[in-house]
Amino acid sequence: MNQLRLLSPHFGSEECKWVHQVIFDELLGIPVTLEKSSACIYTLIVGEAQITWPDVFLRSLISVNLDEGFLHPKDGITVDVASVTDTTPSNLPVLFGEPRISSQGASVDLHFDISGIIFYFLSEAGSIQENARDGHERPLAVNSYSFRNNLLHRPVVDEYIELLRAMINKIWPGSVAKRNEGQIIPTCDVDFPFEASAFRIRSLARELLAATRGELSRVELNRKVANSLRCRAGNYQHDRNYTFPWYIDECERQGRQAVFYFISGHTGGSIDGYYAIEATPIVALLGEITRRGHDIGLHGSYNTFRSSAELNKERARLMQACVSSGHPVDIRQCRQHFLRWDPIYTPRAMEEAGLRLDSTGSYPDIAGFKYGTAHKFSMWDWSRRRALKVKQAPLILMESTVIAKRYQNLGYTEAALEYMLTLKVNALKYGGDFLFLWHNSHLTIEEDRRFFKILLQ
Ligand SMILES: [Zn+2]
């Protein structure tokens, strides 16, 4: 078996080890041996030939404190890679280095820093540099390099991996295996399993008041009262949020395995919804999901995104509820409620809580490729500057990001569907997964169901 060697100027640093382990072992599927280089370039030895690229980014980062800052990417620069590969867009963005490729015999010199560019995307370096956050303390797409350069709909890291694959295979035909096929993975954050008035007297009283003020029709009030009575008798099929049987049936019709994330703590109070994970209908639902072969994950409540202790408690409580359902699950997957995220502390908090796979990885305001990839990868820990065991399975699309007025505001238009399908095609194109979020409580109108079914196919 051919063995790749990479001579690296930062041999021995955690940054260098992490980014190249992800690039070669995890994304390309071919191991690489790292060796020390005294020059400021990376040299990939491929048999008798070599591929080089400059070290521009990591040298600005290694051994500086985060508050001292590190190199910002240059906007608006692209390199034409049509001479090397025709399976990616010809214009790859050049964040660091010069947009040039030269060759000598079988060897190729890239004048842009592939390692640095991929590090920048996968580590969220941009969110560290751009400190702006919204009211929920989330980094936003509108502040990102990808937004400024119209790249949110493109998996740029996957495109770069494809470029590397093409170059290596040209020198050593067939040495890098063909890509696996990606999966379509529907996921559901269970924020509101039932309508608020189904089990809560206070909510029902509020609806009554609204009806007396003329803000709610009599017909709708009667429906809510009837729904509440039926739910209390264990009949949920008329509840507008309790769409789980339909959701699971549709997934199974298309052969998809879904993940359902449950809230099991209330660190943020009422913002974390109104169900207890131990409630009888919730425990029954947990059991049914597992019995039918779908997955359960933790939906970390509002204030857990910097707290491994709270995450740990919620994980244990969810696992206990699964035991009560008769179908124990070792909970390893999670997604943060509201997609709350601190790029420095959240991945570490998850790891310390025993979690191993996060799917919070999308900006809330514009759907697309926050990390530039649709592949799973081991995450970077900025707080301790080292690789983590916890992996990111990036979330490519949340339905409300595209549909809702407060975000992209495309509603249920053909433009909305076209944007969603562009993300789906681009995620799968390089063997990544199209992992999308559709809430059980966002299936109340026919258009929701139509969109959901199209994305599942
Ligand atoms: Zn949520």
Same domain, 157 and 258: no
- Measured in Å, residue 439 CA sits from the centre of ligand 1 at 9
- Measured in Å, residue 12 CA sits from the centre of ligand 1 at 40
> Which H/E stretch holds residue 53?
strand 49-54
CA dist., res. 112 & res. 126, Å (int):
18
Whether residue 229 lies inside any domain: the answer is no
The sheet carrying 333-336 orders its strands as 377-381, 386-392, 357-358, 333-336, 295-300, 259-262, 184-190, 434-437, 397-398
- Measured in Å, residue 127 CA sits from the centre of ligand 1 at 22
Whether residue 427 lies inside any domain: the answer is yes
Same domain, 146 and 188: no
- Measured in Å, residue 110 CA sits from the centre of ligand 1 at 43
- Measured in Å, residue 47 CA sits from the centre of ligand 1 at 50
| Pairing assessment for the beta strands 357-358 and 295-300 based on DSSP bridges | unpaired
Give CA separation, 81 vs 150, 153, 156, 306, in Å: 18, 19, 13, 41
Backbone angles phi and psi of 381, in degrees to 5? -105, 105
Burial label for 142, CB within 10 Å (0-12, 13-18, 19+), is middle
Same domain, 161 and 188: no
- Measured in Å, residue 231 CA sits from the centre of ligand 1 at 23
- Measured in Å, residue 305 CA sits from the centre of ligand 1 at 12
> How many domains is the chain built from?
2
Closest CA to 355 of 393, 399, 397: 393
Same domain, 188 and 146: no
Same domain, 155 and 265: no
pLDDT of residue 179: 79
CATH of the domain at 344: 3.20.20.370
| Residue 88: domain span | 4-171
Give CA separation, 316 vs 214, 270, 383, in Å: 45, 21, 25
- Measured in Å, residue 17 CA sits from the centre of ligand 1 at 34
Same domain, 105 and 189: no
Q: What are the average pLDDT values for consecutive 10-residue runs of the chain, which has 457 residues?
A: 85 95 95 92 93 96 87 96 90 97 93 98 96 94 97 98 94 82 97 94 92 93 94 93 98 98 97 95 98 98 98 98 98 98 97 98 97 98 97 98 95 97 97 98 96 98
Same domain, 262 and 312: yes
Instruction: Provide the 3-class DSSP secondary structure of residue 89.
Output: coil
b/e map of 237-275 (b: 16 or more CB within 10 Å)?
A: eebbbbbbeebbebbeeeebebbbbbbbbbbbeeebbbb
Task: Answer for the pair 28, 176: CB distance below 8 angstroms, yes or no.
Answer: yes
Same domain, 154 and 288: no
- Measured in Å, residue 190 CA sits from the centre of ligand 1 at 7
Q: How many other CB atoms are there within 10 angstroms of residue 50's CB atom?
A: 18
- Measured in Å, residue 1 CA sits from the centre of ligand 1 at 47
- Measured in Å, residue 338 CA sits from the centre of ligand 1 at 5
Q: Which residue has the tokens 């600005």?
A: 60
- Measured in Å, residue 296 CA sits from the centre of ligand 1 at 14
Sequence-distant (≥ 6) Cβ neighbours of residue 90 within 8 angstroms: 80, 81, 82
Same domain, 189 and 167: no
DSSP code of residue 177: P
Whether residue 303 lies inside any domain: the answer is yes
- Measured in Å, residue 96 CA sits from the centre of ligand 1 at 36
Beta-bridged to residue 46, according to DSSP, are: 49
The structure tokens listed for 46 are 């491929």
Same domain, 332 and 401: yes
The structure tokens listed for 7 are 């001579």
Does pTM top 0.85 for this prediction?
yes
Same domain, 136 and 271: no
Whether residue 356 lies inside any domain: the answer is yes
- Measured in Å, residue 56 CA sits from the centre of ligand 1 at 39
Q: How many other CB atoms are there within 10 angstroms of residue 106's CB atom?
A: 15
Backbone angles phi and psi of 159, in degrees to 5? -65, -40
Same domain, 285 and 356: yes
- Measured in Å, residue 340 CA sits from the centre of ligand 1 at 9
Instruction: Provide the 3-class DSSP secondary structure of residue 418.
Output: helix
- Measured in Å, residue 434 CA sits from the centre of ligand 1 at 19
pLDDT of residue 172: 86
Q: How many other CB atoms are there within 10 angstroms of residue 288's CB atom?
A: 15
